[in-house]
Chain A
Amino acid sequence: GDSVTQMEGPVTLSEEAFLTINCTYTATGYPSLFWYVQYPGEGLQLLLKATKADDKGSNKGFEATYRKETTSFHLEKGSVQVSDSAVYFCALSLGSQGNLIFGKGTKLSVKP
Chain B
Amino acid sequence: NAGVTQTPKFRVLKTGQSMTLLCAQDMNHEYMYWYRQDPGMGLRLIHYSVGEGTTAKGEVPDGYNVSRLKKQNFLLGLESAAPSQTSVYFCASSPPPSYGYTFGSGTRLTVV
A residues apposed to B, CB below 8 Å:
32, 34, 36, 42-46, 49, 51, 89, 93, 95-100, 102-105
Work out how many contacts link A and B, with CB atoms closer than 8 A.
52
Contact of A51 among B50, B98, B102 (CB under 8 A): B98
A104→B97 contact, CB < 8 A: no
Can you name 15 extra interface pairs (CB under 8 A) apart from A42-B106, A44-B92, A44-B103? A34-B100, A36-B103, A43-B4, A43-B103, A43-B104, A43-B105, A43-B106, A44-B101, A49-B100, A51-B98, A93-B98, A96-B97, A98-B97, A99-B33, A103-B42
Interface residue SS majority, chain A: loop
Contact of A46 among B33, B42, B102 (CB under 8 A): B102
A99→B103 contact, CB < 8 A: no
Contacts of B106 in A (CB 8 A): 42-43
Contacts of A104 in B (CB 8 A): 40-42
5 interchain residue pairs of minimum CB distance: A43-B103, A104-B42, A96-B96, A44-B103, A32-B98
